[in-house]
Amino acid sequence: MEWTGARYADQPEVSADTWIAAAPERVWPLVAELERMPARSTELVSLSWRSDGPAAGARFVGHNAHPSLGTWSVEGTVVECEAPTRFAWEMDGEDAPSARWSFELVPDDGGTRLIQRARMGPGRSGLSRAIDAMPDKEQKIVFVRLREFEAAITHTLESIRAEAEAAG
């Protein structure tokens, strides 16, 4: 992975992909309807729309839980909603988004190549407070959190793949 040794200010990113035996039009609702994500997530407990979604500009709040980080809620905004190819949202941070999550759906060999990405920063987040408390461990903190993001993405992609293929 390219993010070894990254600092939060570098806005490190992880991604993973999977091939799904279903057309992008069948996969699209599984990624764009964020309220379905808690069932596929390792941290997201619930999500509710604050405005009509999914659509660019739509706002939502996610409630999360993590064994080491505790529980928290954060608001987000859909920043890309281009059916059936791109869907992205950013989480509110101090002065800028604290994270950006996205899906890309690419037609591939009669199915869909589904790519998910997660990027930290540039805005401050709960992770920033951990880094502030232990600045000498910033790279390790970022590395561990990115590994968690990677595992979460892999789990989410597998869940979406299984659901899309079962529906066919």
pLDDT in tens, the chain (168 residues): 444 568 898 999 999 999 999 999 999 999 999 999 999 998 999 999 998 888 999 999 999 998 888 898 999 999 999 999 999 999 998 889 999 999 999 999 999 999 999 999 999 988 888 899 999 999 999 999 999 999 999 999 999 999 999 976
User: Coil, helix or strand for 57?
Assistant: coil
Residue 31, Cβ density class (10 Å: 0-12 exposed, 13-18 middle, ≥19 buried): buried
- Global confidence as pTM: 0.92
In angstroms, rounded to a whole number, what is the distance separating the alpha carbons of residues 90 and 79?
7
DSSP-assigned letter for residue 110: T
Considering the domain delimited by 8-167, tell me its CATH architecture: 2-Layer Sandwich (3.30)
Based on DSSP, count helices (H) and strands (E) in the chain, helices before strands: 3, 7
pLDDT confidence of residue 157: 97
